[in-house]
Amino acid sequence: MKKNILYTLALLLGLFFINSCENVLEEDVYSELDPDGLFNDIIGAEAVLHAAYGESQLNGWNGKSLLNLEEWCTDIEWETGGGENRTAVQMINFTWDASTGWITDLMWRGPFRGVRDANTILDNIEESTLSDSEKKLIRAEARFVRATEYYYMYTYFGPVPLRTSATQEMELPRASEQEMLTFLETEFSEIIADLPDPGDEKLYGRAHKGAATAFLCKFYLASKQWQKCADAASDLINMNYYELYPDYRELFKVENERNKEYIWVHQAVVEGPGNNYINGAFPINFSIEPKSGFTWTSNMRNWAAQYRLYDSFYNSFEEGDQRKDLIISEFINKKGETVSLLNANNTRSFKWWPDVNAQGNDHGNDIPEIRYADILLARAEALNELNGPNQESIDLINMVRNRANLGDISVADFASKEELRDHILNERGWEFYSERKRRQDLIRHGKFISSAHERGITNAQDFHVRMPIPQVEIDANPMCEQNPGY
Amino acid sequence: MKKTDKCPCLHGQLKKVLMIMKLTTFLIFVLTLNVFAESYAQSTKITLSMDKATVKEVIEQIESETEFYFMLKYDDHLMNRYVDIDLDDANIHDVLTQLFDADKYNYQIIDRYIAVTPVEEDAMGVADQNSITGIVTDENDEALPGVTVIFKGTTIGTVTDMNGYYQLPVTDGKIIVFSFVGMKTQEISLNGQSKIDVTLQADAIGIEEVVAIGYGVVKKSDLTGSVSSLNRDDMNTTGVSSVDEMIQGRTPGVQVIQSSAEPGGGMAIRIRGAGSINASSSPLYVIDGLPIDNGQITAGSGADIPGSRAPRNPLSSINPADIESIEILKDASATAIYGARGANGVIIVTTKSGKDGTFNVNYNGYVGTQSAANTVDLLSAEEYMTVLNDILDEGGGNPEERVTGIQGEGTDWQDEVMRSALIQSHNLSFSGGNGKTSFYSSLNYFNQEGIVVNSAFKRYDARLNLQHKVNKFTLGVNFTTSYTQDEFLAYGYAINEEAGALYAALNFDPTLQVYNEDGTFQISPYITTDNPMALATGKDGFGNTYRTLGSFYGQYEILPGWTAKLNGGFDVQNSRRDSYVDRTTKNGAGAGGIASIINGIKTNYLFEGTSTYMKDFDENNSMTLMGGVTYQAFNTDRNTMNARNFPNDITKTWDMDAADPTLFQEFSNRSTYKLLSYIARANYNYKDKYLFTATFRADGSSRFGENNKFSYFPSLAGAWKMHEEDFIKELNTFSLLKLRGSWGITGNQGIGNYQSLTTFATGPTAIMNGQKTTTLDPSRIGNPELKWETTEQINFGMDMGFYDNRIYTTVDYYSKETSDMLLALPVPSSSGFNSVLQNIGSIRNRGFEFMLETRNFVGDFKWNTNFNFSTIKNEVLDLGPIPEIIHAGAGWTNGIALIKEGEPLNSFYGYEVEGVWQLDDDFSVTSDPVQAGDTKFKDQLTVDTDGDGVPDATDGKINDDDRVIIGNSFPTFTWGLSNNLSYKGFALNFFFEGVHGIEMLNNNLVDSYFPINFRRNKLAEPYLNRWTADNPSNEYPSFVNPNGQGNKAVNTTTVEDASYIRLKTVKLSYYFKLKNKVLKSANVYVTGQNLFTISDYSGFDPSTNSNGNPSLKIDYNSYPVARTYMIGCEIGF
């Protein structure tokens, strides 16, 4: 009996030891996926591709924050109240630095995650068992997302480390200006052929020839490659696909999105991520917009943060400009009193017209990254830079003006290239306020710093035209040099 | 002259008993001897058949088959007598009758003692002329049988008989030693006396008690490592809901910090500091031999319910009343047996067991009332109107935001959301044993309402602990099952429209009343934060958690001293959390109701085999060896569903399909990990003076990288009982003097799953075609080299006793260095990743721990004092290539903490406040846009003008470079002081706790200094005394343009001194003297908790830390701490 028990014990212990070979400690992966074979399946490959697109979509909290980052430092918008104010004062006063969180997160880390996902696809797609046509399309789209992210970063920081594979070494120096220019030009140009025509993309939101051409055009504009910019713009115009939406005041409403003016958009949905801008545009105690009768409802939010437009901008519009109609200058508060917003740098952009189906912070208005109007004005600007005031530039500008119910301008109105250039800048301001274009436009026109000085921001210096490389990158990547001045 | 063996049987058996029982239980047992003397003897049946066996063999056989042990003088004649025994199911009396000739020997059975004395000696009348005689009694003058009486340094001696009588031959011996388990050993020098009566005292400190050390027990006096042992008298037992609360403040080196004071709220424990940056720094809990996973069962708080950083307390499902003792293993010698989980210390919880020969029914219960110990001093409605309008007049805010009137008297929102709340607990236990089977079972009901409305915690718990012995087998079960109900208040770190009730109570407009005329909640047009009462009542959360925890063991004695044990255990937790945001709230109204159901199942099972071998080689050498293998697997399954837009608020979470189907959200997740380990320990005792312990564990964890699955954790310790040395004895100073030293290596595997692998997980949200779509992206940079953190610890300790241990003190010094620290090494974020987990860097914790126990008075009036004191110094030694890490946020505050070499972990990093800019200040020294009345931050020396590498000038502006270290969350020292006074039936206990030299970021103060918008309520003190032209305060700014200097939230004003001294508990009890047969014991008590606190801290409470992480104290919207008064009673039947 005793022996039997002993044997049983020994056996049990023995079993234990035998059972304890190494593979007992193999890590079982349940809720995450093993990368093996992921790219052999079109659904898997597209899931990673969608992640890349997801990173590049500037919507939700990030979308409105990035939008503000590029407007608070300009002559259009400023901000009071809310926790955002802590970032806003830095942007308004030109005291942002390499530790400013939003710059790090939204301008650097976000785009580079998109680059990472795109590179991951490009690194793996060749070896996958997908068909050649599937590979070709996915490859072109991954390059598209990667190039758009680099384009954004180029406009924020200038050249950045150019990662073209996820397996590159961690520490990488910044590309030279020329490398950056060549890379962006090559990428956008090369993929156009492999992308579908606009409207033929598999899902609305995936890349097409129109988007790639438009980005190429915008990139040439930002880098002042005027002829190439004009050519790219005309390529796009010649697609004969895009057109201006007839009514500017209706263009941005949620029910009118997916129009032929929007070339590339950041989609927004009420279940989030949506368009968050209007939450900060509602004045304190806002109830009714008197002209339209729009009434705030409890499914919406009215943030402590207040996005306010400068009176100088509000007053700069020409008489009759319908674009001004999307800026409200008075409202009816919850007590039924009419409150004026004028003369206190306090008018509000209602460009992202409230979505009645909003869910809390999230309104459904898609945010266009590139509109057809942008391309028209880009060609107009490029041709002016190349040739001075010319009829084609004027015609292009008039297309945009007419849509806003403004009369024509003529070549004779502009004595010099500079005069037309200044007009184009104003025209762009009126056309694109609250669309994250102003900072870049001011910089291109050499007025980013001088305009700040005019607002009394003495702190603004020439180096501020480029954002600082985030300190976390400098710390972790000694080869990455800071922009001068920071 | 009779040769007396040192009672070999007794010696061996005593050890066995010691292993099972602790001093306290033993004493109770002795005191109840008379009542229950016969029960074990009656219930124990013996079957024995031996031919031609000596009496000695028979005795040994009986001792090994039963729990009886014999106390008798060694007598060759008796022992070597041959007998034939043949008994079947006989009782002990039959055995004894056959063994001992009634004419020559008397025997008496006292429970399991069988005292045998020769008849002539028992007469006790006539003493031999050449002998020394006497009677040994206890403090109550009761005779003590079985006391070993021996000439010191010899084997000559005897044991006392039933009457406590002993007789010793006169020899050359100089000193007689009287020893008895549970009593202090007493030595009497011979000076020619022939009669020596001795009264043995109960061992004051209990150094003979047995403490659990993991996979075994050891006598406290034989400890070589640093182990704090708490029995019920040393713990907080009333008004506590969980195990961790029971030890708060009670033992040095153990910091117990309340993350949330809500009922069932989380606690964070740090033993000897914070040993890690990214891995867990929480200790391992072992409950009745089962290491548990103390992680959260469910994740998240529900859609639109603010998330809390102070998770619920999983330990609150264990009934504190069932706990017999808690051992805290602190140094590496003690914890290395838990290897890769031992680095943060180990807390061993032992639940109660039944006592043989008794049947006890006990009821204890209390009921009490709680109210907030402190509220935050905010502006009243009047003050709010005056101060805000004054600021408007001075140019702050917007004209639209003027305060135009007060509705009625306004509202004190803290008053509104708080209440006085009931707490009650009822515990009924049954315990007993019949010698073979012992049991303890209990039922518990605990109900604590929160002092903020809509928060509560209820527990129903049942336990059965069972042990059964059959010959050499011991089988046991410890089994508990509980059902806990939570009612969750919506509160946490979320802000503005996402915020919870407590944030709202501090921020909401005091000029408004709670309701509109139509009975709906008022909201402020000026801020997005909802009405506090709407949030408190309209964001409803309920939790139901079921937990069953069991361990089963079987032990077999293969040979005397050699046992094998199989141990299995499991812990199953199943939790469901429901939340519903109804239409009385802003968000609920906007969304048409928001519902969430969160489920979690967390299980782990354990299977282990150990074997222990004990051997006394001779009088001077004894050894215990233990070895084994253990396997434990952990599993967590979770899912969450969210829905919104319901037809009405009636069905809440019980009809999710009524919601808008396009807005459903579902998430699920599963993770597992496994541990396979081999353990060994050797204890060696030489001359009972020199003690050595060596342990070893080989641990394999599935969490570690492919190349590093296994690691090895050794430890060594030694102790020298100096009081056993003659040269110490001669000093006549020490009743105890023990030196201890230990070294060992432990690990920390608390890094989460999959960290060594590169996998793809659900990526960012992407909208395609107007709909969200599935995305996958790489989760991390996998690191196949990843392994546990290694912690090397040395410990030196000294235990001292004076005046027969009436003063007992322990001092420990430790140095604990974690290397191969699991650090999220920042990588260039241009890689798309922010960091990769690597084994780099090191951190060190050093400190002194001091404990003093004194018995100030021991007569009718008894006064005992326990004092503990500890210091800690934490230092980050190495961060590899990383210069510094600045991290952590709360609300809109970010970059709160700095991790840097040479500094304590998570030092607060911010600006020094010099004062307030005054009208006549020289503003030319700064280029910042400041005006009189703004906060003046110190412009640090940041410019190096002479190129010597040392900054020697200021740059005229306040920016990131001007941040300096302004405090940290590690207390310089902490202490606890407990006093127990008793007289006649009265007993008074009071317990103070002190924490000194610690800072905390008061983020609610940040919100007052840097308000998110104007029309919020603010802390009264700074606003009422703010700078104005007429009141040129240098302490409080004008708040006209509070955010004008940007985000400088972390500064010497908002990082506050969180030191405090607190009268934590006072308890007055009365014990009835009972003579009746029905009640065995009864006492009643009144007790109060958190009665007063001395602190400069301006928030709710300096002791809590809503940030959850003890190494970084941040107070934000914390749940207020309660002051509690309770009455209760304990009745034994």
User: Which chain A residue shows the shortest CA-CA distance from B401?
Assistant: A284
Amino acid at residue number B836: V
Q: Mean of the per-residue pLDDT values for chain A?
A: 93
Residue B19 has what pLDDT? 36
- 3-state SS, one letter per residue, for B792-847: EEEEEEEEEEECCCCEEEEEEEEEEEEECCEEEEECCHHHCCCEEEEECCEEEEEE
Is the predicted pLDDT of residue B350 greater than 50, yes or no?
yes
Q: Give the other-Cβ count within 10 Å of B726's Cβ.
A: 8
* Confidence band of A13 (pLDDT split at 50, 70, 90): low
- For residues B1078 and B1080, give the distance between their C-alpha atoms in angstroms, rounded to a whole number: 6
Cα separation, B384 vs B390, whole angstroms: 10
What is the DSSP secondary structure assignment for residue A353, as one 8-state letter? P
Chain A residues near residue B756 by CB distance under 8 angstroms: 27
pLDDT of residue B35: 37
- How many CA atoms does the CB half-sphere of A371 hold within 13 Å? 23
Residue B604 distance to chain A (closest CA, Å): 15
What does the pLDDT read at residue A8? 57
Round to whole Å and give the CA distance between A248 and B335: 72
pLDDT score for B61: 77
Calculate how close chain A gets to B693, using CA atoms only, in Å.
25
Question: Does the beta carbon of B499 lie under 8 angstroms from any beta carbon of chain A?
Answer: no
How many whole angstroms separate alpha carbon A388 and alpha carbon A393?
9
pLDDT in tens, B982-1001: 998 899 999 999 999 999 99
pLDDT at B220 over 70: yes
Query: Which DSSP state fits A347?
Result: B
Let me know the angle formed at the C-alpha of B1010 by B1007 and B1013, rounded to the nearest 5 degrees: 80
Residues A295, A301, A305: CA angle, nearest 5 degrees: 115
Contact assignment for A27 to B754 by CB distance below 8 Å:
yes
β pairing state of B346-351 and B284-287: parallel
What is the band of B24 on the pLDDT scale with cuts at 50, 70, 90?
Answer: very low
> In A, which residues are within 8 Å of B760 by CB distance?
32-35, 38, 48
Residue B441 pLDDT > 70: yes
Token reading at B656: 């999710």
Angle, in degrees to the nearest 10, between helices A209-222 and A226-238: 160
Between A13 and B152, whose confidence is greater?
A: B152
Output the six-digit token pair for B37: 């003397």
| Separation in Å, CA of A97 to nearest CA in chain B | 8
Confidence check: pLDDT of A28 > 90: no
| Higher pLDDT pick, B492 / A380 | A380
> Which of B776, B960, B1006 should one mutate to test binding to chain A, selecting the residue with the greatest count of A CBs within 10 A?
B776
Q: Which residues of A touch B827 (CB under 8 A)?
A: 170, 476
Region B295-321: mean pLDDT is: 88
pLDDT band at A38 (very low <50, low <70, confident <90, very high): confident
Cα–Cα distance for residue pair B957/B454, rounded to 1 Å? 48
What per-residue confidence (pLDDT) applies to B561? Answer: 87
The answer to whether B740 and B799 are in contact (CB under 8 A) is yes
The partner residue sitting opposite B1013, judged by closest CB among A81, A101, A113, is A81
Pair A181, A247: CB distance under 8 Å: no
Does B558 reach chain A within 8 Å, measured CB to CB?
yes
Partner-chain contact A284 B401, CB within 8 Å: yes
Q: How far is B46 from chain A (nearest CA, A)?
A: 18
pLDDT at B300 over 80: yes
pLDDT tens digits, B248-268: 888 999 989 888 899 988 888
Nearest CA to B580 among B304, B309, B306?
B304
- Which of A264-278, A397-411, B307-321 has the least mean pLDDT? B307-321
B495 and A81: CB-CB below 8 Å?
no
Residue A251 CB partners (closer than 8 Å, separation 6+): A245, A259, A261
Judged by average pLDDT, the poorest of A17-21, B773-777, B866-870, B885-889 is A17-21
The amino acid present at A466, given as its one-letter code, is: R
Could B774 and A300 be called an inter-chain contact, meaning their C-beta atoms sit closer than 8 Å? Answer: no
* Interface with B, mutate which of A8, A31, A80, A169 (most B CBs under 10 A): A31
A44 contact partners, CB below 8 Å, separation of at least 6: A37, A38, B776
Chain A residues touching residue B838 (CB < 8 angstroms): none
User: Picking from B15-29, B475-489, B897-911, B1024-1038, which range would have the lowest pLDDT averaged per residue?
Assistant: B15-29
Q: Tell me, what's the pLDDT at B74?
A: 60
DSSP string, A409-462: P-GGG-SSHHHHHHHHHHHHHHHHTTTT-HHHHHHHTT-HHHHHHHTT-TT--G
Structure tokens, A278: 């209007």
pLDDT at A429 exceeding the cut of 70: yes
Q: For the segment A45-69, what is each residue's pLDDT rounded down to a tens digit?
A: 999 999 999 999 999 999 999 999 9
Q: Dihedral of the CA atoms A170, A174, A176, A179 (nearest 10)? A: 50
Nearest residue on chain B to A479, alpha-carbon basis: B828
Locus of tokens 């960091």? B835
Q: Is the peptide bond between A273 and the residue preceding it cis, with omega within 30 degrees of 0?
A: yes
Q: Which of A1, A3, A25, A150 to mutate to test the interface with B (most CBs of B within 10 A)?
A: A25
Q: Chain A interface, mutation test: which of B767, B779, B823, most A Cβ atoms within 10 Å? A: B767
Summarize pLDDT for A79-127 with one digit per residue, the tens: 988 888 889 989 999 999 998 989 999 999 999 999 999 999 999 999 8
Name the phi and psi angles at B219, rounded to 5: -65, 140
C-alpha–C-alpha distance, residues B481 and B465, integer Å: 12
How far apart are alpha carbons B490 and B302 in whole angstroms? 10
Give the three-state DSSP class for B430.
strand
Q: Residue A299 and residue B834: Cβ atoms within 8 Å?
A: no
pLDDT surpasses 80 at B537: yes
CA terminus-to-terminus distance, chain B? 50
Could you give the CA distance from residue A72 to residue B723 in angstroms, rounded to a whole number? 77
Whether B328 and chain A come into contact, CB under 8 Å, resolves to no
Residues of chain A contacting B942 with CB distance shorter than 8 Å:
none
In angstroms, the CA B521 to CA B586 distance is: 9
The answer to whether A35 contacts B526, with C-beta atoms less than 8 Å apart, is no
Question: Bridge-partner residues for A367, per DSSP?
Answer: A266
Binary contact (A83, B834; C-beta < 8 A): no
In angstroms, the separation between the Cα of residue B296 and the nearest Cα of chain A is 18
What is the pLDDT at residue B50?
A: 77
The answer, yes or no, to whether residue B26 has pLDDT greater than 80, is no
| Cα atoms in the Cβ-side hemisphere of radius 13 Å centred on A190 | 15
Give the separation between CA A92 and CA B619, rounded to whole angstroms: 85
Question: B674 vs A24: CB contact, 8 Å cut-off?
Answer: yes
> Closest residue of B to A54, CA-based?
B766
Residues of B in contact with A44 (CB under 8 A): 776
Each residue's pLDDT tens digit, B1049-1091 = 999 999 999 999 999 999 999 998 877 778 888 999 999 999 9
Residue in chain A closest to B668 (alpha carbons) equals A31
* Chain A residues in contact with B629 (beta carbon < 8 A): 13, 16-17, 20
B764 touches chain A (CB under 8 A): yes
Q: How far is CA B825 from CA A250, A293, B833, B835, in A?
A: 50, 55, 11, 5
Computed from CA positions of residues A156, A157, A163, A164, in that sequence, does the dihedral angle turn out positive or negative? positive
DSSP state letter for A400 = H
Q: For the ranges A163-177, B120-134, B395-409, which has the lowest average pLDDT?
A: B120-134
Give the predicted TM-score (pTM) of the model: 0.83
**Interval B801-810: pLDDT, tens:** 998 888 999 9
Q: What is the pLDDT of residues A346-372, one digit of tens each?
A: 999 999 999 999 988 999 999 999 999
- The contacts of residue B239 (CB under 8 Å, 6+ apart) are B366, B368, B423, B425, B1087, B1089, B1124, B1126
Q: Which residues of B touch A101 (CB under 8 A)?
A: 894-895
Contact call for B828 and A170, based on CB within 8 A: yes
Q: What is the 3-state secondary structure (H, E, C) of B1018-1053?
A: CEHHHHHCCCCCCCCCCCCCCCCCCCCCCCCCCECC
**Whether pLDDT at B616 is above 50:** yes
B587 contact A CB<8A: yes
Contact assignment for A360 to B1046 by CB distance below 8 Å: no
Q: Which of A17, A104, A206 sits opposite B768 (nearest CB)?
A: A206
Helix axis angle for A60-69 and A85-92, nearest 10°, is 30
Beta bridge partners of residue B836, listed in sequence order: B825
Q: What is the pLDDT of residue B1047?
A: 74
* Residue A108 confidence (pLDDT): 97
- B496–A53 CB contact, under 8 Å: no
- Please name the residue that has the structure tokens 């000038």: B953
**H or E element, residue A129:** none
Q: Residue B679 above 70 pLDDT? A: yes
Distance CA A359, CA B660 (A): 12
Residue A16 has pLDDT above 70, yes or no: no
Contact B1043 A204 (CB under 8 A): no
Q: Strand, helix or coil at A86?
A: helix
